[in-house]
Amino acid sequence: MKQAVLSLSGGMDSSTLLLHLLNNDYEVTALNFDYGQKHRVELERAQQLVDYLRDSSYTVKYQVIKLEGLSTLLNSALVTGGEEVPEGHYAEDNMKATVVPNRNKIFASITQAVALSIAETKNTECVIALGIHAGDHAIYPDCRQEFRDADYEAFKQGNWDADKVKYYTPYLDGDKFNILEDGEFCCEKLGLDFDEVYKRTNTSYKPTAEGLSDYKSASSVERIEAFIEIGRKDPVEYVDGWEVAKKHVEELLASHA
Amino acid sequence: MKQAVLSLSGGMDSSTLLLHLLNNDYEVTALNFDYGQKHRVELERAQQLVDYLRDSSYTVKYQVIKLEGLSTLLNSALVTGGEEVPEGHYAEDNMKATVVPNRNKIFASITQAVALSIAETKNTECVIALGIHAGDHAIYPDCRQEFRDADYEAFKQGNWDADKVKYYTPYLDGDKFNILEDGEFCCEKLGLDFDEVYKRTNTSYKPTAEGLSDYKSASSVERIEAFIEIGRKDPVEYVDGWEVAKKHVEELLASHA
């Protein structure tokens, strides 16, 4: 069977990509990373999605990798002990505080190790699936293709048989809207309920203690924008409800237009 | 104060490098990685060394980063659940089983994240100190300079302010003998007892449950060789005692000569 490793962050992009991989007959090992992030709800949602898929007869090997002892050493608003998470659109400067130093390089390195182990054990190729898309932001330098290329080169230099591991990035030329469209398509093909899938995702960097999403931080604004574009109500719960969240984003977009 | 981050593995090279950094007036953050390795004694020795240094009035910030959930996914003889660790000289082919996929890239990425956080928080430069030396083996591709260069390039592509983090590799052109020589020098300068330092290190991949070192696996053979060259008895305890260990290595070296 075709092998894939996926970082399942609990967000919209990687959750959709998981459906995409299942629909393309991959056996999926999904990793999630616990590095002391404030938005713990991501970890819960990823587990809930895997549980829902299993109940729908799709088995995913899901493993949380816990980086214990790291968060106190990091300088970032996103981990425990850091500053407040800033609000607003990604374009704004203060979003730099939401950078976790070298995060994607750490995640990529662990993911590569697992993919290479699978490739060697099963004596086959193993892809690393990434939900990156054209709408990703240059404010995070480790989301740029230049970083991905350099990181893969380092991986190749550091391992024999590295060419058994390839990247698979089906959304590279798309945006959040295209991803949600693919999600709709895969749900239909796989016999899954769209709302049941997407209420088991989280995009908010500032969820309430009860897990309600904010609608003002940059990542939430983008998610809401995609649901508006696709003409669906977002099944996750927002602090002031969907209509208020939707209105806020529509006004914000108008003011940036 | 000058800042340095060091992977303190509990081995001879990084332990010596720690002394070297203290002797060169660095404030040191020492990281150790718990990835489910069989040779747990490394973690204990590193802690013992840090404790001994503190008792000798040298403060080192020591943090174990635990990669929980990873070892079961890895394909290596070195982690729990893997095969037996093979014996012999590094030159032999079966040593490939002792490779942990992408290990140095994972460690490097986490170390870079910590170094960059220190550099940003203290608004200064921070070096990453590495005990790599010319005697390191090409059997581990992630010990080659080609890997280090590619990995640093990926780090630079993935982070703003990456140039605040530089590598410091004082042993690059030396070998294990030169490292031990530097250890002797630093012990004298710092007023430390050489034997007290080096009995708090471990190089054996196959220590007994009581922490006694084997003298047949490749890494042990190399360590013993260095102590023979420097004309000192190794203060760590070997399963059959130092004299037997020494004799074994002398014979092995003669047969390879």
Interface touch A67/B63, C-beta < 8 Å:
no
Quick one: tokens of A77? Answer: 């608003």
pLDDT above 60: residue A83:
no
Average pLDDT, integer, range A149-157: 97
A155 contacts chain B (CB < 8 A): yes
pLDDT reading at B224 higher than 70: yes
Rg (CA), chain A: 18
Is there a contact between A159 and B150 if contact means CB atoms under 8 Å apart? no
Task: Write out the residue range of the structural domain in which residue B74 sits.
Answer: 2-202
Residue A206 confidence class, pLDDT cut points 50, 70, 90? confident
Establish how many alpha carbons lie within 13 A of residue B57's alpha carbon, considering only the half-sphere containing its beta carbon.
2
B143 → chain A, closest CA residue: A158
Looking at the predicted structure, is the pLDDT value of residue B28 above 50? yes
As a whole-number percent, the residues of chain B with pLDDT over 90 amount to: 69
Q: Which residue on chain A is closest to B157 by alpha carbon?
A: A147
Inside any domain, residue A253: no
Q: For A85-125, how does the pLDDT look when each residue is reduced to its tens digit (9 = 90+)?
A: 555 554 444 445 556 789 999 999 999 999 999 999 999 99
Mean pLDDT in residue range B157-181? 94
- Of A6-20, A127-141, B16-30, give the lowest mean pLDDT range: A127-141
pLDDT tens across A247-256, in order? 999 999 999 7
**SS3 of A164, please?**
helix
Is the CB of residue A188 less than 8 Å from the CB of residue A182? no
Shortest CA gap A172–chain B (Å): 18
A113 touches chain B (CB under 8 A): yes
Residues 23-42 of chain A whose Cβ lies under 8 A from any Cβ of chain B: 29
Query: Alpha-carbon distance A180 to A13, whole Å?
Result: 8
Q: Is B84 on the interface with A (CB under 8 A)?
A: no
Q: Looking at residues A230-250, what average pLDDT do you find?
A: 97
Q: From A68, which residue of chain B is nearest by alpha-carbon distance?
A: B66
Mean pLDDT score across all residues of chain A? 89
**Structure-model confidence comparison of residues A201 and B95, the more confident one:** A201
- Has residue A168 been placed in a domain? yes
Is the residue at B244 inside a domain? no
pTM for the model stands at: 0.87
Task: Say whether pLDDT at A240 is over 60.
Answer: yes
In a domain, B248, yes or no: no
pLDDT digits (tens, 9 = 90+) for A2-22: 999 999 989 999 999 999 999
Asked whether residue B135 carries a pLDDT value surpassing 80, the answer given is no
pLDDT band at A141 (very low <50, low <70, confident <90, very high): confident
- What burial class does residue A85 get, using C-beta atoms within 10 Å of its C-beta: 0-12 exposed, 13-18 middle, 19+ buried? buried
Encoding tokens for residue B165? 């983090």
pLDDT of residue A91: 46
Determine, for residues A29 and B66 on separate chains, whether the beta-carbon distance falls below 8 Å. Answer: no
> Is A129 a residue whose pLDDT tops 50?
yes
Q: What confidence tens digit (pLDDT) does each residue in B61-83 have?
A: 999 999 999 988 887 555 555 55
| B101/A117 Cβ within 8 A | yes
Q: Running DSSP on this structure, what letter comes out for residue A37?
A: B
Mean pLDDT over A216-243 rounds to 95
Cβ pair A215, A249 in contact under 8 A: yes
Dihedral angle, C-alpha B232, B234, B238, B241, nearest 10 °: 30
Number of C-beta neighbours around residue B163 at 10 A: 10
Choose the closest CB to A101 out of B68, B102, B117.
Answer: B117
Q: Measured between alpha carbons, how far is A206 from B29 in angstroms, rounded to an integer?
A: 31
Please name the residues in contact with B62: beta carbons below 8 A apart, sequence gap of 6 or more.
B8, B30, B32, B46, B47, B50
DSSP bridge pairs for A71: none
Burial class (CB in 10 A: 0-12, 13-18, 19+), B203: buried
Q: What is the rounded distance in angstroms from the CA atom of residue A7 to the CA atom of residue A110?
A: 10
The residue of chain A with its CA nearest to that of B65 is A69
Q: Tell me which residues of chain A, numbers 126 to 145, contact chain B at a CB-CB cutoff of 8 Å.
A: 141-142, 144
Q: What is the mean pLDDT of chain B?
A: 89
* A255 located within any domain: no
CA distance B158 to B161: 10
Kindly tell me if the per-residue pLDDT of B38 is higher than 80: no
Q: How confident is the model at residue A145 (pLDDT cuts 50, 70, 90)?
A: confident
Among A24-33, B80-89, B153-162, B202-211, name the one with the lowest average pLDDT.
Answer: B80-89
Q: Taking CB atoms and an 8 Å cutoff, what residues of chain B touch A103? A: 113
> Quick one: pLDDT at residue B138?
62
Q: Which of A37-46, A187-196, B22-31, B216-225 has the lowest mean pLDDT?
A: A37-46
pLDDT above 70: percentage of residues in chain B: 89
- Is the pLDDT score of B93 beyond 60? no
**Shortest alpha-carbon distance between residue A234 and chain B (Å):** 32
- Rounded Cα distance between B194 and B191, Å, is 9
CATH at B50 = 3.40.50.620
**pLDDT tens-digit readout, B176-215:** 999 999 999 999 999 999 999 999 999 987 888 888 999 9
Position A148 in a domain: yes
Q: What is the pLDDT of residue B7?
A: 94
Answer whether residue A215 is part of any domain: no
Cβ neighbors of B257 (< 8 A, separation 6 or more) are none
Residue of A nearest to B30 (CA): A73
Higher pLDDT, A256 or A138: A256
Number of structural domains chain A divides into: 1
- DSSP code string of chain B: -EEEEEE--SSHHHHHHHHHHHHTTEEEEEEEEESSBS-THHHHHHHHHHHHHHHTT---EEEEEEEET-GGG---TTBTTS-PPPPS-TTSGGGGGGPPTTHHHHHHHHHHHHHHHHHHHHTS-EEEE----TT--TTSGGGSHHHHHHHHHHHHHH-TTGGGEEEE-TTTT--HHHHHHHHHHHHHHHT--HHHHHTT----SS--TT-PBPSSSHHHHHHHHHHHHHT---SSPBTT-HHHHHHHHHHHHHHH-
Domain assignment of residue A101, yes or no: yes
Radius of gyration of chain B (CA): 18
